[in-house]
């Protein structure tokens, strides 16, 4: 007879939930970094392919790769940055939102650091799918040279199909992500472990002195090689950005029990293979496997790269939603593809932008070898920005002294700057591509932020204090506007001023509702807010009430649902007798004031691409009244 304690069922449930998160984190979080062995060592060997590579150079290269993984991924991201969270959410913009709330003196500096990091991540999200899928499909050349001409069409077909299914959501496909990626890491690890026996001296690479010695003797070539070595840590930023989806512990456990050992074994195995058979320098990853296993490994690698691409695309969607809520981008359509997981979203505009960018990169570069030269700048740049933000995090949030924070982060910062310098050497070989992509996105974000501030300043000149307006309405008993039954909700971004749409309604329709609500919607500096902090209700007079709704920057700003919560708290109104008044502005550029003419045009174009506010805020479609006005910017 067996007995169970009262705690056994909850413990079993918790363990099952942890294992699900563990499996999911392997599939999503580590999908990107798990495909690096396909091309990282091959590209690092490229400068030595003509003259031959010596034993010391191979050991030094592998040592560099293993210790780059150890220092940057293990120490910086897995052990440190996963603790630097904003209420459980990670990523550049999540950290930026926390710091801008805590340290107002550095808002401008933090803002530009944040948009640089975000722009570089979007650039990474374009290059990663193109590079990963090309490198996997190119394995078909080794199966049979007759398939060489089909590499490009197959890669394009995979990319188009991947972006087309985004609108359907990844919930069903994601169930397969974890098991496939686990199999991928096991195959990589076993494949590498088998070949370590080819030359046991490769184990000397575990000594970091070989990495230092390689850099000391390689000279300028060593700096070039560093650009390729950094390919081993692609996906580290996505690791931090996905913190909110899986939690810190599953991500950390997955890294130490499977991902890191598999990557280290594979790189060591590739190194031993090249030491034993130098002729396999052309493609050491695929040539580790016997001929009969080549086609299955190519298929598995292709699946793994699709998963890696999906992870980066999903990260771009999440970053775009954060940027919208933080005021860095106009309101774009955000579709939720899961009823239970709010992290599974689809942003059509971002999806189209990424697809166009990926296809242009595939057709422009044509091979993973050419595209690898364009890679690295966006990743290293984003990492440098994250380290700078982490310095502020240590000072502002954890309360460390500046000297202590600098001592801890300065070695890491200098190392990343060296990697960035190495990647900048590839500017003329295609490295300008991620720089141009990031620059374009930065200009868009800066223009939107600057334009909205100028628009706010211009409209503020004609605003009337709300209390003065209400007092004047109450005094005009003889010429008071006609009062009509029902409730009118006027949306405004400045709660202390009279909404322009209210003034226009009075001017043109000469009516005032029995109940009038001045509604302000704000985004908090935290990812999620509890329902008891959702709204603040302030009664001004018998006919006027101020209502402030707050949402976290990871939440859907659903006004209808929030008003339902207000009703439960005692705010009485009937939705069928309520009208929502929105102001629709027609923007006209003015080259003599505000921004340059090109920036005016860009801001107006961005404003035109924004989703209708009634859709964005989920207002009842048949209860919305829009009143337009023309504004010169």
What's the rounded Cα separation, in Å, for the pair 440 and 446? 10
| pLDDT of 255 | 96
pLDDT at 214 over 80: yes
| pLDDT of 2 | 44
Give 11's pLDDT tier (boundaries 50, 70, 90). low
**Strongest mean pLDDT among 449-453, 475-479, 487-491, 567-571:** 487-491
- What's the mean pLDDT when you consider all of the chain? 85
498 vs 434, more confident: 498
Provide the 3-class DSSP secondary structure of residue 330. coil
What's the rounded Cα separation, in Å, for the pair 246 and 403? 33
pLDDT at 345 over 60: yes
Average of pLDDT values for 597-617? Answer: 88
E strand or H helix at 520: strand 511-523
Average of pLDDT values for 564-583? Answer: 82
| pLDDT of 103 | 64
How many percent of the chain have pLDDT more than 90? 31
**Strongest mean pLDDT among 130-134, 517-521, 594-598:** 517-521
Predicted confidence (pLDDT) per residue in 103-131, tens digit: 656 567 778 888 888 888 888 888 888 88
Predicted confidence (pLDDT) per residue in 193-203, tens digit: 999 999 999 99
pLDDT at 556 over 80: yes
What's the rounded Cα separation, in Å, for the pair 397 and 587? 40
CB-CB contact of 347 with 331 (8 Å): no
Q: According to CATH, where is 1.20.1740.10 located in the chain?
A: 15-450
Average of pLDDT values for 133-141? Answer: 87
pLDDT at 489 over 80: yes
Which residues lie below 8 Å from residue 51, measured CB to CB, with a gap of 6+? none
What's the rounded Cα separation, in Å, for the pair 301 and 154? 14
In terms of phi and psi (left: phi > 0; alpha: psi -120 to 50; beta: otherwise), the region of 128 is alpha
Number of residues written out for the chain:
633
Q: Determine which of 87-101, 138-152, 165-179, 235-249 has the lowest per-residue pLDDT on average.
A: 165-179
> Do strands 535-539 and 511-523 pair parallel, antiparallel, or not at all (unpaired)?
unpaired
User: For the domain bounded by 15-450, which CATH number is listed?
Assistant: 1.20.1740.10
| pLDDT of 47 | 82
The percent of the chain in helix, strand and coil, each rounded to the nearest 5, is 70, 10, 20
pLDDT at 4 over 50: no
Predicted confidence (pLDDT) per residue in 30-84, tens digit: 888 998 999 899 989 888 766 778 899 999 999 999 999 999 999 999 999 998 8
| pLDDT of 111 | 80
What's the rounded Cα separation, in Å, for the pair 27 and 259? 11
Which whole-number Å values give the CA distances from 346 to 24, 204, 332, 600, 608, in the listed order?
Answer: 19, 47, 11, 29, 20
| pLDDT of 196 | 96
| pLDDT of 238 | 77
| pLDDT of 210 | 94
Q: Mind giving me the DSSP string for 39-84? A: THHHHHHGGGTTT---HHHHHHHHHHHHHHIIIIIIIIIIIIGGGS
Give 554's pLDDT tier (boundaries 50, 70, 90). confident
What's the rounded Cα separation, in Å, for the pair 63 and 211? 5
Which DSSP state fits 257? Answer: I
628 vs 254, more confident: 254
Q: What is the pTM of this model?
A: 0.79
Give 555's pLDDT tier (boundaries 50, 70, 90). confident
Average of pLDDT values for 88-114? Answer: 77
pLDDT at 444 over 80: yes
Which residues lie below 8 Å from residue 495, measured CB to CB, with a gap of 6+? 466, 518, 520, 546, 548
Average of pLDDT values for 395-420? Answer: 91
Which residues lie below 8 Å from residue 105, measured CB to CB, with a gap of 6+? none
491 vs 113, more confident: 491
CB-CB contact of 501 with 581 (8 Å): yes
| pLDDT of 104 | 58
Give 3's pLDDT tier (boundaries 50, 70, 90). very low
pLDDT at 161 over 50: yes
**Can you read off the two tokens belonging to residue 351?**
């999806």
pLDDT at 451 over 80: yes
Average of pLDDT values for 10-17? Answer: 74
């Amino acid at each position: 007879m067996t007995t169970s304690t009262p705690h056994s069922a909850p413990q079993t449930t918790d363990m099952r939930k942890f294992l699900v998160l563990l499996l999911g984190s392997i599939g999503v979080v580590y999908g990107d970094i798990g495909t690096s062995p396909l091309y990282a060592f091959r590209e690092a060997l490229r400068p030595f392919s003509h003259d031959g590579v010596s034993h010391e150079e191979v050991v030094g290269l592998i040592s560099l790769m293993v210790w780059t993984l150890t220092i940057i991924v293990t120490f910086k991201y897995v052990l440190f940055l996963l603790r630097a969270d904003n209420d459980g959410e990670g990523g550049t913009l999540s950290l930026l939102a926390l710091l801008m709330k805590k340290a107002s003196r550095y808002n401008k500096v933090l803002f530009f650091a944040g948009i640089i990091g975000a722009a570089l991540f979007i650039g990474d999200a374009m290059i990663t799918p193109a590079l990963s899928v090309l490198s996997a499909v190119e394995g078909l050349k080794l199966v049979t040279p007759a398939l060489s001409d089909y590499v490009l069409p197959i890669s394009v077909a995979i990319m188009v199909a991947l972006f087309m299914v985004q609108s359907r959501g990844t919930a069903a496909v994601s169930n397969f992500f974890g098991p496939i990626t686990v199999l991928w890491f096991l195959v990589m690890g076993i494949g590498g472990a088998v070949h370590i026996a080819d030359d046991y001296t490769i184990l000397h690479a575990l000594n970091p002195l070989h990495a230092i010695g390689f850099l000391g003797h390689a000279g300028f070539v060593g700096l070039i090689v560093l650009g390729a070595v950094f390919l081993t840590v692609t996906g580290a930023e996505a690791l931090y950005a996905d913190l909110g989806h899986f939690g810190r512990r599953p991500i950390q456990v997955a890294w130490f029990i499977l991902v890191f050992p598999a990557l280290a074994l594979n790189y060591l195995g590739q190194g031993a293979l090249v030491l034993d058979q130098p002729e396999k320098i052309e493609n050491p990853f695929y040539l580790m496997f016997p001929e009969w296993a080549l086609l299955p490994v190519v298929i598995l690698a292709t699946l793994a790269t699709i998963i890696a691409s999906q992870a980066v695309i999903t990260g771009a969607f999440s970053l775009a939603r954060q940027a919208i809520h933080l005021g860095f981008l106009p309101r774009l359509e955000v579709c939720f593809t899961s009823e239970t997981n709010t992290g599974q979203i689809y942003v059509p505009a971002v999806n189209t932008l990424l697809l166009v960018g990926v296809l242009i990169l595939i057709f422009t570069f044509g091979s993973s070898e050419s595209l690898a030269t364009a890679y690295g700048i966006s990743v290293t740049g984003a990492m440098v920005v994250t380290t700078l933000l982490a310095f502020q995090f240590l000072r502002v949030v954890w309360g460390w002294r500046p000297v202590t924070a600098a001592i801890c982060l300065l070695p890491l910062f200098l190392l990343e700057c060296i990697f960035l310098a190495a990647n900048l050497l590839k500017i003329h070989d295609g490295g300008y591509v991620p720089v141009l992509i990031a620059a374009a996105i930065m200009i868009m974000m800066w223009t939107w932020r600057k334009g909205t501030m100028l628009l706010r300043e211009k409209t503020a000149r004609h605003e009337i204090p709300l209390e003065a307006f209400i007092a004047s309405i109450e005094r005009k008993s003889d010429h008071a506007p006609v009062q009509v039954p029902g409730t009118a909700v006027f949306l405004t971004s400045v709660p202390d001023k009279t909404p322009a749409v209210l003034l226009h309604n009075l001017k043109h329709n000469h009516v005032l509702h029995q109940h009038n609500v001045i509604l302000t919607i704000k985004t908090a500096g935290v990812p999620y807010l509890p329902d008891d902090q959702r709204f603040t209700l302030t009664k001004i007079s018998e006919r006027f009430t101020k209502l402030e709704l707050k949402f976290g920057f990871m939440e859907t700003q659903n006004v209808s649902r929030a008003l339902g919560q207000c009703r439960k708290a005692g705010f009485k109104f009937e939705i069928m007798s309520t009208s929502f008044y929105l102001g629709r502005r027609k923007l006209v550029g003015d080259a003599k004031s505000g921004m340059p003419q090109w920036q005016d045009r860009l801001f107006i174009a961005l404003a035109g691409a924004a989703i209708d506010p009634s859709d964005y805020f989920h207002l009842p479609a048949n209860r919305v009244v829009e009143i337009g006005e023309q504004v010169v910017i």
